[in-house]
Amino acid sequence: MANHQRTPARDSAPAQARRVTAATIDALAALVCGLAAGAAAGVKVVDGVVELRPQSPTVLGVALGAAIGLSFVNHVLLTLAARASLGKLLTGLRVVRTSDGGRPGLFRLIGRWLFGFYWMVVFVPIHLATDSDVEQQDSVGLRMVRRVTRS
């Protein structure tokens, strides 16, 4: 039996809805983790009474740190290990190198993660304000493809 290596031309590009669903799952996971960590940091027990102090600067710092930390672990470390973030695993996608369809490297994954923040801050608001047909872009020599299950 011949060894069939998948190449970028043979990998199927995912539908935009699948990409958006994966991104939404990843964003919600980071947001929920950040909110939970922030809420936990804002809890204070005084004389046996539990108080939530959401106006504390500690709450915002912990929430932001936890959300960014989970985002990094999900988009960089999990993708390095499993070729996909949590959202991509659940939607049947994976990340590959554009050049040869191989496993992505650490520095490219970090670049892709940082590009995602740039995309979110710059292009998402423009897309929403103008109701344009701008689609999510691949970056830094990596792209998303549908995950192929082997029987």
Domain of 47?
16-142
Domain presence at residue 26:
yes
Residue 63, Cβ neighbours under 10 Å: how many?
A: 22
pLDDT at 4: 46
Domain presence at residue 125:
yes
Domain presence at residue 6:
no
Domain presence at residue 11:
no
Q: Determine the residue type at 101.
A: G
pLDDT at 107: 95
pLDDT in tens, 88-129: 999 999 999 989 989 999 999 999 999 988 888 887 788 778
pTM of the predicted model, to two decimals?
0.79
Q: Minimum mean pLDDT among 38-42, 54-58, 67-71: which range?
A: 54-58
Domain presence at residue 10:
no
pLDDT at 3: 46
Domain presence at residue 147:
no
Domain presence at residue 148:
no
Domains held by the chain: number: 1
Domain presence at residue 85:
yes
Report the C-alpha gap between 16 and 52 in whole angstroms.
Answer: 40
